[in-house]
């Protein structure tokens, strides 16, 4: 059975490491601990049953508790698959900002830094083009560079 654990947003890896260390020392049947990209503030724990999961996951540093409803294996697969189908932003792509001060505006991608999750873009609707550094998470692709 899979259970969703509420953790401090942005601290998913730390909370997962804490739980992993705890599971190594514990006799409670915990099979896996997953961090799913895009699920900020939550991690997924696979346990034998609900009692085991609730015994294992106690509130602590960065761990807020277990959500009342468990997930089926199909729901977990959908979460993992939907995250893997994200289209990669590349140089030359035409993007549109989905949030922030430039929401609704379009820009052309000049450089992408995957390690930092940022990119350098140039807005299209300005008289004097200025390079802006923005997060890739606040943009969606309008047109791929290699598409006609």
pLDDT per residue over 18-35, tens digit each?
888 888 888 888 888 888
Do 47 and 65 lie in one domain? The reply is: yes
Q: Which pLDDT value is given to residue 60?
A: 75
In a domain, 40, yes or no: yes
Tokens of 87: 């289209």
Do 80 and 13 lie in one domain? The reply is: yes
Model confidence, pTM: 0.56
* Cα–Cα distance measured from residue 107 to residue 105, given in angstroms and rounded to the nearest whole number: 7
10 contacts: CB under 8 Å, gap ≥ 6:
40, 41
Do 7 and 78 lie in one domain? The reply is: yes
Instruction: Give the domain-ending residue among 38, 64, 84.
Output: 84
The proportion of the chain whose per-residue pLDDT surpasses 90, expressed as a percent, equals 17
Do 67 and 115 lie in one domain? The reply is: no
């Amino acid at each position: 059975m899979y259970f969703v654990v509420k953790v401090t947003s942005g601290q998913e890896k730390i909370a997962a490491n804490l739980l992993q260390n705890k599971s190594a020392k514990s006799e409670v049947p915990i099979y896996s601990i997953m961090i799913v990209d895009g699920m900020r503030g939550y991690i997924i724990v696979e346990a034998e049953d609900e009692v085991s999961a609730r015994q294992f996951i106690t509130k602590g540093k960065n761990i807020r508790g277990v959500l009342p409803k468990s997930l089926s294996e199909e729901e977990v697969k959908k979460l993992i698959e939907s995250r893997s189908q994200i289209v990669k932003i590349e140089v030359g792509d035409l993007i549109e900002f989905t949030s922030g001060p430039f929401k609704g505006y379009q820009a052309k991608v000049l450089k992408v830094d995957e390690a930092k999750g940022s990119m350098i873009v140039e807005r299209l609707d300005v008289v004097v083009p200025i390079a802006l550094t923005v997060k890739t998470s606040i943009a969606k692709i309008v047109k791929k560079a290699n598409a006609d």
